[in-house]
Amino acid sequence: MKKTFTVNLNGIVFHIDEDAYQLLDSYLTNLRIHFSREEGSDEIMSDFEARISELLNERIRLGFNVITIEHVEEVIQRMGKPEELFAGEEKDAGSEFSAATETTSGASDRRFRKRLMRDPDDKMLGGVASGLAAYFGIDTTLLRLVMILLLIVSMTVPITIIYIVLWLVLPLARTATDRLMMRGEPVNLENIGRTVTDGFEKASDDMRAYIRTNATRTQLQKIADFIVSFFAAVLKVGAVLLGILLIPVCIFVLFILLIVVFALIVGGWSAVFSYLPWIDSDMYFVSEMPNYMAVWGSISGILLLGIPLMALLYRLFRRSLNLGPMAGAVKWILLLVWLASLVGVCAIGVWALKEYSGFYFETISQTLPALSSWFGQA
């Protein structure tokens, strides 16, 4: 029998046994000591805790109720140790210790995959182009020029819609961990510390060094930068105006969706109540549609409209309500449920189309008065 503790790590509560707690506390203390003299040490520790919380949460998703010392040791192995980082700075790469560290890092690299996100450090509008460039490993300016060319060729609308959708869907790389995942680099102790430190130095030392450099930019690079900057400014103004114009439209659409969902709920319950023994069993929900199909269609319609509506509201109010990101398993479940509801609505639509389609003829006979009555008596 072991003692267990309840710890809050990056906003997530874990139940952890005593041995694991002592090891994790010692590890975090060593990290604080190691990075205490670095600029942005608080942000570095925040990123470390976020990454450790993510790794421990993987254990919880696999069904473990309590974090054990084996789980913490696995996290430390994947993240790296401060003393290993010190040793790496003092020893040559050919040493036995460095080889072991490189092997561990290589194993972590093989398990790591890129994540498509928006890049806030090199954005001109929403960070979509820079995020795509970082993900695919291509030049950001070149990708922006291609997007501008497509914008001109496609007469604005399609590429603009695609950009706005990507802007809404792709998450922003806010932390050092996100930036490493965006570039496909392993999320370990050394890389997180380097990313945060580089972020603080970027606005000072790196920028001043770039300004003072003697390397001259070619005329083509200057023209490309001007074109990208000009279109970025135009798109920013257009995005603001479009947002102002779309606010009442979005509110109206949201209101209509709420009314439709409410109507489907009421109609579905009406169909359910029709199965009760004291209600006429011959009652139909819609014309000659059987009640079970009405219930099925109502539930499918509610889910078809309600899931995107819920996702939109969750995304809009997640930060204001201090809610955590939605788990990947929940996203997949909602997607499968939404696809099933789409199939249900389509099936009801096909049934209704077959049931009510056809030709309707009606013959109307009418006796017209004599022509003399139109012109009077001769």
CA atoms within 13 A on the CB side of 290: 5
CA distance 313 to 328: 18
Beta strands in the chain (DSSP E): 4-9, 12-17
Helices (H) and strands (E) in the chain, counts: 15, 2
Is residue 221 scored above 70 in pLDDT?
Answer: no
User: In this predicted structure, what is the pLDDT of residue 288?
Assistant: 58
- pLDDT tens for residues 129-180? 888 888 888 888 888 888 777 777 766 566 777 777 777 778 887 766 677 7
pLDDT digits (tens, 9 = 90+) for 99-125: 333 434 444 444 456 778 888 777 777
* DSSP at 368: P
| Distance (Å, whole) CA 65 – CA 70 | 14
Is 17 in contact with 3 (CB distance < 8 Å)? yes
pLDDT at 341 over 80: yes
Confidence (pTM): 0.40
Length of the chain: 378
